[in-house]
Structure 1
């Protein structure tokens, strides 16, 4: 489903939370930012959870799982507002994608040196 015309696979689930169409649209709209930076994303799963058991300030928990080629990227954030949790989650996942891309770029541009001291090469004719 990950094609070039803008439809990407974003799975949104709610735990102890009723997902409204506007909330699903908000999550998908925010996740489009990730697809602009990385074209090799297979799927993004977002879990929104409302913690009603504990009386703490961070009531809404947002968990994100990005499936890409190689190791998956996971992030969890919590805050007192559901929309704020989604924004913080997108920022954290975007930072992880940028870090991963930078590490791959460094590895590609700065390969390890090869020791040629004890190697005998054949002579070119």
Structure 2
């Protein structure tokens, strides 16, 4: 079963899915710019499959998150442009703004088990400042 939710769906909605709540928690914690709260959303043996390499386990994922925050700063979620949940797989596209004024369209695919991310594929769709 595929669940596609509109942009107006919020965590306060009684029908919010596990995947949607996890996505919203991840983005809220990303906005705060602290690694540990984000890392709590990943399983101990989670994998991040990024273009610049694979990270396995919370230690490697934490180092990767710290690198991302050091490079760009915390991102502010401007909009959730697309969100689809299909069983234990969550897919999203979002627009994120950064403290330096840059704006990017990003995507992510997460596999969720027991309320935690077990596999995550992040990526950049477009740098809306023309720098990509």
TM superposition score normalised by structure 2: 0.32
TM superposition score normalised by structure 1: 0.34
Which structure has the larger Rg over C-alpha atoms? 1
